[in-house]
Amino acid sequence: MYKLFFNLVFKRMDPEKAHYLAFRWIRLAARTPVLRTFVAAALAPRYKELRTEALGLRMHGPFGLAAGFDKNAIAIDGMTMLGFDHIEIGTVTGEPQPGNPKKRLFRLVQDRALINRMGFNNEGSLAVAARLASRNPVFRTTVGVNIGKTKVVPEEEAVGDYVKSTERLAAFADYLVVNVSSPNTPGLRNLQATEALRPLLTAVREAADRTVRARHVPLLVKIAPDLADEDVDAVADLAVELGLDGIIATNTTISRAGLRTRGDVVNETGGLSGAPLKERSLEVLRRLYARVGDKITLVGVGGVENAEDAWQRILAGATLVQGYSAFIYEGPFYARAIHKGLAARLNNSPHATLADAVGADVKKVSA
C-alpha cells in the first residue's frame, strides 16, 4: 500500500518537499489524540523480550530514528507514535543556519538510497532548546540530541560552538551526540582526527557535567564510514580513554562504489545513505566491537532496511540500532516491522536476552 503511494505521489515530488509533507502529516496525526493513541497502540514496540537498558536508560526496544530526520525537535511525538523507540534530533548547531542551497536531497530509488547535502539546516541551539523545554512531560520518549558545528564558525573555534550547544541542550538530552562526521560542513570531518577530537570531547563532557549536575548525560561520538580502519581504531581507543559512553557508526559516505543507479544524480555532492552503505557500516561496527567490546555502547546505523539487518547489527556489537533512509522507502510500518522481526529472531536464537546477543558474532570469531 505504502509502496504504491510512494510510487504514485512521493516519487513524483521533489524529495525535500515530500519529506516536509510527510512530516506535516505525522505531526498532525500525533496532535490528534484518538489517531495518536490508535496508531501508537498498533506500532509501538511491545515485546517484553526487547526491553533493554542502554546508556543507563531503560528502553522498550533497541530501534530508533537516526539524526537528520527531525533536525529541530518538531516531530518527536509523531515519530514515537510510529514505533521508533528513541529519537535522535539534530544535528543542531550553535547558531541557526539555512543549510546549503536547494536542491540538496536526491533519491536513488534503484539503490534504495539517498544523497544529501543538507548542510545542517536547523533553527540553532537556542530555539531547539526552547522547543525541548516546552515538551509535554507526559509523553516520555528517549531523546538523543545530536550537535554539530555552525558552518561560519572557523575550525579553530569549533570547540566553543559545540560547548555553546551543550550548555543550551544537555539538560533536555537523554544522551548527547557529538557529530564530527557529516560530509556537508567543510572541515567537519577533520575533527575526527584524535588530536582534534580529544579536546573537543573533553570540553563537551565538561560542559555537560557543568550544566547538568543531577545526572550523568551520556556522551557519544558519531563517526563516518569513510575513516580508514586505523582511524576507526584510534577513535575507539580515544573513546575508551576518555570514558565516553558510546560511538554511533556510521554517518553517510562520500563513496559511490557499487551503485546501480545511472546518470548525473550519482555525481551529486553529498553523503550517500541507505542500502549501499550497509556493508561498510556493519564492517565499521564489527571492528569497533572487536576493539572495545562491552566497555562502551555501540549504536549501529547505515543501510538498516529490515529486521534481519538490525539483528545483524546487534550480533556485530550494537546495543542500539537506528535507521533513516529505509523509512522513506518502507513507510510508516518500518520501525514496527523491525521490532517485530527482532523479537522473533531473538526468540529463535540461543540468546536468552537481547543483551546476550550483542556482539555474539564477533565474540564467536575471536573465541
Ligand X SMILES: Cc1cc2nc3c(=O)[nH]c(=O)nc-3n(C[C@H](O)[C@H](O)[C@H](O)COP(=O)(O)O)c2cc1C
Q: Does 68 bind ligand X (CB under 6 A)?
A: yes
Q: Of the ranges 52-60, 168-176, 198-206, 321-329, which one interacts with ligand X (CB under 6 A)?
A: 321-329
Nearest-approach distance from CB 216 to ligand X, in angstroms: 22
- Which of 323, 335, 337, 354: binder of ligand X (CB under 6 A)? 323
Show contacts with ligand X in window 280-309 (CB under 6 A).
301-304
Scan residues 244-263 and list those touching ligand X (CB under 6 A): 251-252
For ligand X, which is the closer residue by CB, 29 or 275? 275
**List 182, 273, 281, 325, catalytic entry:** 182
- Closest contact distance (angstroms) between CB of 63 and ligand X is 11
> Contact with ligand X (CB under 6 A): which of 43, 67, 292, 354?
67
Which residue among 145, 153, 326, 343 contacts ligand X (CB under 6 A)?
326
Distance in angstroms (rounded) separating the CA atoms of residues 79 and 188: 28
For the question of residue 182 being annotated catalytic, the response is yes
Q: Binding to ligand X by residue 180, rule CB under 6 A?
A: no
86 binds ligand X (CB under 6 A): no
Q: How far is the CB of 119 from ligand X (least distance, A)?
A: 9
Q: Are 300 and 309 in contact (CB under 8 A)?
A: no
Using the contact rule CB under 6 A, the part of the chain among 42-50, 127-135, 206-214, 271-279 near ligand X is 271-279
| Nearer to ligand X (CB atom), residue 115 or residue 343 | 115
Identify which range of 5-13, 42-50, 94-102, 113-121 contacts ligand X by CB under 6 A: 113-121
Q: Give the range of 1-9, 61-69, 164-172, 335-343 binding ligand X by CB under 6 A.
A: 61-69
Provide the annotated active-site residues: 182
Q: Which residues bind ligand X (CB under 6 A)?
A: 66-68, 71, 90-91, 105, 114, 116, 118, 120, 146, 179, 182, 222, 251-252, 273-274, 277, 301-304, 323-326
